Amino acid sequence: MSETLRTHPQQALPSPAPLCNRVLREVLLGNLQDAAEAIERCTDGRDMRSVFAFPALRNELLEGLTLMGESARALAAEDKACMPAVDWPAWDALSLLPAGPIREWRERLWDTIQVLVPQTRREVSRYLGRLTDTGTAARH
């Protein structure tokens, strides 16, 4: 005798799309938050000159910025709309490749680290808090 799985209409299995979207959202927001926190720890109490004087530190910062840029670009538009204080076009335009004079490149990166990274971390933290408070993260 063969067994078959039967479901009643009200017991249909949930579509995997909402779960997939929720997981992707959580991963991308987590990437943004974690990388921003790591960047802020690396630069805490340091000036631009000391940060760029250490190749290992500079490489770690570039990795964090790369992760943040990729996550920001992949985040859904509706999530971005909930965080209007973040300069999303700046993340879209971020280029980590040295272009032009090295000093100007460092200054652009430093500005990103000092302004865009903390701004993004604050807004992502608030947004995650709202998602948790409303239970939206669990429903989507």
pLDDT digits (tens, 9 = 90+) for 54-85: 999 999 999 999 999 999 999 999 999 999 99
Which has the closest alpha carbon to 36: 108, 86, 102, 93?
A: 86
Per-residue pLDDT at 61: 96
Point out the residues of the chain with pLDDT beneath 70.
1-17, 135-140
Note whether residue 51 is domain-resident.
yes
Note whether residue 33 is domain-resident.
yes
Contact 51, 43 (CB under 8 A): yes
Note whether residue 8 is domain-resident.
no
What is the tally of structural domains in the chain?
1
Length of the chain: 140
Note whether residue 50 is domain-resident.
yes
Note whether residue 101 is domain-resident.
yes
Q: From CA 104, how far away is CA 44, in angstroms rounded?
A: 22
Q: From CA 92, how far away is CA 80, in angstroms rounded?
A: 12
Per-residue pLDDT at 135: 66
Range of the domain at 67: 17-135
Per-residue pLDDT at 7: 44
Note whether residue 34 is domain-resident.
yes
Per-residue pLDDT at 25: 92
Note whether residue 5 is domain-resident.
no
Per-residue pLDDT at 4: 45
Assign 95 to helix, strand or coil.
coil
Note whether residue 140 is domain-resident.
no
